[in-house]
Amino acid sequence: MLDKKHIKYFKKILPVDFVLSEEGDCWAYGYDNSKMHVMPECVLFADSKAQIKDIVRYCFENTIPITTRGRGTGNTGGSVPIENSVVLSLEKMNKIIDIDISNRLAVVQPGVINKTLQDELQKENFFWGPDPSSQDYSTIGGNIANNSAGPRAIKYGTPRDNILGLEFISGTGEIHKTGVKTSKGVVGLDLTRLFVGSEGVLGILSEATLKILPLNNSVKTFEITFETLKSASDMIIMLMTQPITPYKLEFVDEQSVKLINSIKKNHFEINTKSAVLLEIDGDVDFIDIQSKKLLKLMQSKEHKKITIAENKTEIAELWKARKSLSPALKEIGGYKINEDIAVPISNLTRLLNNLSAISKKYGVRIVNFGHAGNGNIHVNLIFDTIKEKNSENSKNCLEEIFDSVLDLNGTISGEHGIGIIKKSFLEKEVDKITLDLMNNIKKQFDPKKILNPNKSI
Ligand SMILES: Cc1cc2nc3c(=O)[nH]c(=O)nc-3n(C[C@H](O)[C@H](O)[C@H](O)COP(=O)(O)OP(=O)(O)OC[C@H]3O[C@@H](n4cnc5c(N)ncnc54)[C@H](O)[C@@H]3O)c2cc1C
């Protein structure tokens, strides 16, 4: 139990509505999209770095763990609290401080919703690269802490590629500034990129300087279907080795094709074993030339059918099929484990063949789709009952999937992070001596280990 005197102290230093301690008020701050839930004993809000500093300083002095929270859309329990701790929600720190078009940068507080920033930038014909599918709800702070990105990461990168500098409060309550406001800079160690993807264990982000880019004014979308997995994989490799970098390059496997057809009747023809959705962006004057070049290249490779979307309605129709997958997965019911592994794209065929063999071996239905250009595949294991989901068979199946991914030079998480859910698998990927180094780095930032303890590293 968190001592009541601490709650009393927070009520003294923060505005009255910035401290929640009643169960009914705190409940909603105890879970994320991992579906784990731990009842927070106290939820704090801050709307300035000075308030974060005061909270952390007190927690440091009294060794109280802090779980930092954006909007709780994470998939791995990163913002789920531990017992005897406080949750610090940054949803009120939601100001866009500056949009500086000339210098291609934006300065934001961590609680700004990704979509809110994109909408503001769009008014200036600019955008911020990272576009996780949760962008209508997730915060820039959460995006940075998890290095979250979406389909256009293939061309425009993840937060790690789209950040210039940060301000954060370390575990002792000190404010640190990292990075630069210029597109070049090489002074000191690169703490900015160390912080990105650190899942809240190194500090609490209070401000970020983001690299922004001008928007292209036109896109062209293609859907390509295949009768074999290998021809899909060969097409993906071809698309990644020619000079017109795809804006988005998505993949669905045979199980996904069936699921899409069950929702969007006969979207794919019979005997379709996989499909690729390709989008390119560019200037309206050049995009037709580029798409003709691409079409010729694609026609020279084995495929079943190529559909080109010419206008907004046709583009939306093609994306509707890809986006129907998540609701379709929900509709089939049962219990799901959703992994987000990534492998070098030259190993995609081998990975998918291995997944098919693992699925047969363990009798587990596996549906695969994802961001093919990054080799980042969402591997969905489907179970009829919760007992099956939590069984030894399911654990062994997952272990074998991760072993296969690592054998293929891949990673066990392309975008969701480790959090609590994947902690037991961390040592599969990171060797002991490197993990010790990471823990020593954490100690420098957070000597009492009060920031997001027992998460990530
Ligand atoms: C429908 C849906 C679609 C999704 N699609 C994608 C996708 O396409 N790509 C993708 O990568 N992810 C996706 N996700 C996962 C999730 O949305 C992202 O991880 C997102 O970046 C989390 O943001 P959040 O604001 O909800 O953070 P939270 O879930 O609240 O927190 C995530 C982590 O960040 C830490 N954190 C949050 N704010 C700060 C801060 N200011 N300082 C330090 N640490 C902080 C938390 O402690 C936690 O460890 C999806 C989730 C859902 C529910």
Contact of 142 with 71, CB cutoff 8 Å: yes
- 347: CATH: 3.30.70.2740
Domain boundary among 308, 326, 344: 326
Contact of 273 with 210, CB cutoff 8 Å: no
Q: In this structure, is residue 19 part of a structural domain? A: yes
Domain boundary among 89, 105, 120: 89
Q: Do 77 and 130 lie in a common domain?
A: no
* Tokens, residue 268: 């794919």
Pocket test for ligand 1, best of 29, 116, 138, 454 (most atoms within 8 A of CB): 138
The rounded distance, in Å, linking the Cα atoms of 321 and 363 is 27
- 81: CATH: 3.30.43.10
Q: Do 141 and 174 lie in a common domain?
A: yes
Which residues pair with residue 178 across a beta bridge?
A: 166
Q: Which helix (H) or strand (E) holds 366?
A: strand 365-371
3-state secondary structure of 258: helix
Q: Do 229 and 316 lie in a common domain?
A: yes
The minimum-distance atom of ligand 1 relative to the CA of 199 is 49
Q: What is the pLDDT of residue 182?
A: 96
Q: Which of 287, 111, 122, 133 is nearest to 212 (CA)?
A: 122
Q: What is the pLDDT of residue 4?
A: 92
Q: Do 254 and 191 lie in a common domain?
A: no
Q: Do 80 and 121 lie in a common domain?
A: no
Q: What is the pLDDT of residue 385?
A: 92
Strand order of the sheet with strand 96-100? 96-100, 105-108, 204-211, 163-169, 175-179
Q: What is the pLDDT of residue 24?
A: 95
Rounded to the nearest whole angstrom, what is the distance from the C-alpha of residue 74 to the centroid of ligand 1?
4
Going from the C-alpha of 344 to that of each of 139, 193, 236, 290, the distances in angstroms are 29, 22, 12, 26
Residues with pLDDT less than 50, the chain: none
Q: Do 226 and 206 lie in a common domain?
A: no
Which residues contact ligand 1 via a Cβ below 6 A? 32-33, 68-75, 78-79, 90, 110, 132-134, 138-139, 141-143, 145-146, 148-150, 199-200, 204-205, 415-416, 452
Rounded to the nearest whole angstrom, what is the distance from the C-alpha of residue 228 to the centroid of ligand 1?
35
At 221, phi and psi to the nearest 5?
Answer: -125, 140
Q: Which of 126, 305, 306, 130 is nearest to 217 (CA)?
A: 126
Going from the C-alpha of 249 to that of each of 85, 221, 314, 334, the distances in angstroms are 42, 10, 17, 29
Domain boundary among 296, 326, 356: 326
Q: What is the pLDDT of residue 332?
A: 80
Rounded to the nearest whole angstrom, what is the distance from the C-alpha of residue 235 to the centroid of ligand 1?
32
Rounded to the nearest whole angstrom, what is the distance from the C-alpha of residue 138 to the centroid of ligand 1?
6
Give the closest residue (by CA) to ligand 1 atom 13: 132
Task: Mention every residue, 6+ apart, whose C-beta is less than 8 A from residue 453.
Answer: 65, 82, 85
Rounded to the nearest whole angstrom, what is the distance from the C-alpha of residue 142 to the centroid of ligand 1?
4
pTM above 0.85, yes or no: yes
Rounded to the nearest whole angstrom, what is the distance from the C-alpha of residue 384 to the centroid of ligand 1?
28
| DSSP result, 7-57 | HHHHHHHS-GGGEE-SHHHHGGGSB-TT--B---S-EEE-SSHHHHHHHHH
Q: Do 222 and 207 lie in a common domain?
A: no
Give the closest residue (by CA) to ligand 1 atom 49: 78
Give the closest residue (by CA) to ligand 1 atom 9: 132
Q: Do 277 and 387 lie in a common domain?
A: no
Q: Do 173 and 195 lie in a common domain?
A: yes
- 222: CATH: 3.30.70.2190
Q: Do 259 and 164 lie in a common domain?
A: no
Contact of 200 with 187, CB cutoff 8 Å: no
> Among all chains, which residue has been given the structure tokens 């630069």?
180
| Domain that residue 303 falls in | 218-326
Buried b (16+ CB within 10 A) or exposed e, 324-342: bbeebbeeeeebbbbbbbb
Torsion over CA: 376, 372, 32, 54 (sign): positive
Q: In this structure, is residue 456 part of a structural domain? A: no
Per-residue pLDDT of 235-273, as tens digits, reads 999 999 999 999 999 999 999 999 999 888 889 999 999
Q: In this structure, is residue 446 part of a structural domain? A: no
Q: In this structure, is residue 338 part of a structural domain? A: yes
Give the closest residue (by CA) to ligand 1 atom 50: 134
Q: Which of 337, 330, 305 is nearest to 224 (CA)?
A: 305
Q: Which of 156, 16, 141 is nearest to 78 (CA)?
A: 141
| Structural domain total, the chain | 4
CB-based contacts of 349-353 (< 8 A; 24+ apart in sequence)? 349/229, 349/230, 349/233, 350/408, 351/377, 351/404, 351/405, 351/408, 351/410, 352/229, 352/233, 352/253, 352/377, 353/229
Q: What is the pLDDT of residue 322?
A: 87
Cα dihedral 226→247→34→207 (10° resolution): 170
The rounded distance, in Å, linking the Cα atoms of 81 and 453 is 9
- 170: CATH: 3.30.465.10
Q: Do 110 and 209 lie in a common domain?
A: yes
Q: In this structure, is residue 180 part of a structural domain? A: yes
Q: In this structure, is residue 233 part of a structural domain? A: yes
Contact of 79 with 69, CB cutoff 8 Å: yes
Q: In this structure, is residue 78 part of a structural domain? A: yes
At 106, phi and psi to the nearest 5?
Answer: -135, 140
CB atoms within 10 A of CB 125: 11
Contact of 423 with 78, CB cutoff 8 Å: no
The rounded distance, in Å, linking the Cα atoms of 146 and 141 is 9
CA geometry: angle 242, 225, 230, nearest 5 deg: 65
The rounded distance, in Å, linking the Cα atoms of 426 and 290 is 42
Q: In this structure, is residue 345 part of a structural domain? A: yes
Q: Do 364 and 310 lie in a common domain?
A: no
Contact of 442 with 201, CB cutoff 8 Å: yes
